[in-house]
Amino acid sequence: MKKLSRRGLFGGAGCIACGAAHLGFSATPVQAQGTPPAAGGGWSPPASAQRCPSKWGPNDRRGSMNLMTPERAKKAASLIRSGEIVELGHTLSQTMPFFGTRRFDVHQKVMFMNPQANRRGSNEEIVVAEIGQVGTQFDMFPHQTIGDETYNCVKLPDIAGRGGFTEMGVDTVGTIFTRGVLVDIAGLKGVPVLGDDYEITVADIEQALQRQNTRIEEGDAVIFHTGWGTLWGKENARYVRTCPGLGVAAAEWVIARNPILMGADNWPVECSPSKTMPQASLPVHQIALVINGVHLLENMKLDTLAQRREREFAFMLQPLKVQGGSGSTVAPSAMF
């Protein structure tokens, strides 16, 4: 089983740009995107010594959030001209699609009538859910591992507890307010929804950006429109069975440009199952969260945003302050 070095699949922008990254089966990123490895070849991420320490240093726990600076927030604010807001999050409900055994149950509590003369009634509910991993959701680094290690080779047993993670919990992320870029791959292909297992390539992204006259800049929230979100609440079984999304080379190409996060209107951001690495389980999750410290934003509602002509906007997201959480359900917004 071949291993990939950080300078290979997880290398810098220069290597990716020249198309010479080693993908574990002697191919350039574009070639690998279209040609799966030989049957039974398998894939494994690079060893700890090859992927750590992070470029932010051995003690870093922030990853791409190191890019969330006051200057970047001011630049994002300059994109707001009309004051229009487009919501990018789905409504949380019991009818939404769930991955695996996840759930979202709401139990309304009977109204309590306070005894004072003004007859003030109170209502509330109990919610039972994997609150970090349902609906439109934001992934924090310990959500994924390579073996027993998460981002920056932190041993998961060292930070895991019954009350959450003692390091890198979603409560440590803070507010994300940066430039957002919508990369409309469905629009590029002239279809409302990409095929069930369509794997987005580097060429797709480059063509979409050229078509839109936009570019990806450091610190961006890079959002991909596949059209898959139109199945939400309508064809739930199909929605979670497979999905179109980023291929390995495409994800690595984006990560080389130092985004704060990558998001999409599907459940894993990446194509599932992977065509490039069919023997690997969600390899882009490991590449983004564990190796590079780049957040993923899943299950976005992008239909309204995709209908607009603008492809850059001020992007805002605030995860719930769930102490030690692996992620958070969120309600992001695009502001124009």
Q: What is the pLDDT of residues 25-40, one digit of tens each?
A: 223 333 334 444 444 3
Place of tokens 């993908």: 23
Q: What is the pLDDT of residues 78-134, one digit of tens each?
A: 999 999 999 999 999 999 999 889 999 999 998 889 999 999 999 999 999 999 999
Pairing type for strands 245-246 and 199-200 reads parallel
DSSP class of 50: H
What is the mean pLDDT for each group of 10 consecutive residues in the chain (336 residues)?
A: 41 34 31 40 78 96 98 98 98 94 92 92 93 96 96 97 95 98 98 97 98 97 98 96 97 97 98 92 96 98 96 97 97 98
What residue type is 151 in one-letter code?
Y
Domains of the chain, earliest start first: 51-93+131-335 (3.50.30.50)
pTM for the whole thing? 0.87
The pair phi, psi for residue 290, each rounded to 5°, is -85, -45
User: Which residues pair with residue 246 across a beta bridge?
Assistant: 200, 270
The residue count for the chain: 336
Question: Which structure tokens are listed for 72?
Answer: 């970047």
pLDDT at position 5 is: 40
pLDDT at position 36 is: 42
pLDDT at position 276 is: 86
Q: Can you tell me whether residue 59 is helix, strand or coil?
A: coil
72: number of Cβ within 10 Å = 19
DSSP letters spanning 216-279: --TT-EEEEE-SGGGGTTTSHHHHHH-B-EE-HHHHHHHHTT--SEEEESSSSSB-BS-SS-TT
User: Who contacts 235 (Cβ-Cβ below 8 Å, separation ≥6)?
Assistant: none
C-alpha 39/C-alpha 37 separation (Å) is 6
C-alpha 234/C-alpha 218 separation (Å) is 36
User: Who contacts 78 (Cβ-Cβ below 8 Å, separation ≥6)?
Assistant: none
Question: Which structure tokens are listed for 306?
Answer: 């995709």
The answer to whether the CB of 40 falls within 8 A of the CB of 53 is no
